[in-house]
Amino acid sequence: MENEMNAAAETFQGSKDRISKDIGGMVSEASDLLKSYGGKKLETAKATFDQAQTVVTDTAKQYADVTDEYVRTNPWKALGIAAATGVLVGILLSRR
């Protein structure tokens, strides 16, 4: 009887150890899967950000080029617009 109980205890312990190892393996695989998924999402986000940054930079350069060309061809108009803008901002700030 005692031998049967010892054998059952050993079998139970072996089963417990095997289940524990299996669960540990599953957790490790799930962790690796999540890391892989998160890494892919991060790479996608970085690529999207880089594309948006390129578009914004190119657009800003185009606006700067157009503005520079306008100021060079119409310097007095540009000076008048700048002065009027300065007066308007000054009026708005003095009212506060």
Rg (CA), the chain: 35
What is the structure's pLDDT at 2?
Answer: 65
Q: What is the pTM of this model?
A: 0.48
**Model pLDDT, residue 8:** 65
If 0-12 CB within 10 Å is exposed, 13-18 middle and 19+ buried, where does residue 51 land? exposed
Q: Each residue's pLDDT tens digit in the chain (96 positions)? A: 666 666 666 776 777 778 877 787 788 888 888 788 878 888 888 889 999 999 999 999 999 999 888 888 888 988 898 899 999 999 999 986
Q: What is the pLDDT of residue 56?
A: 92
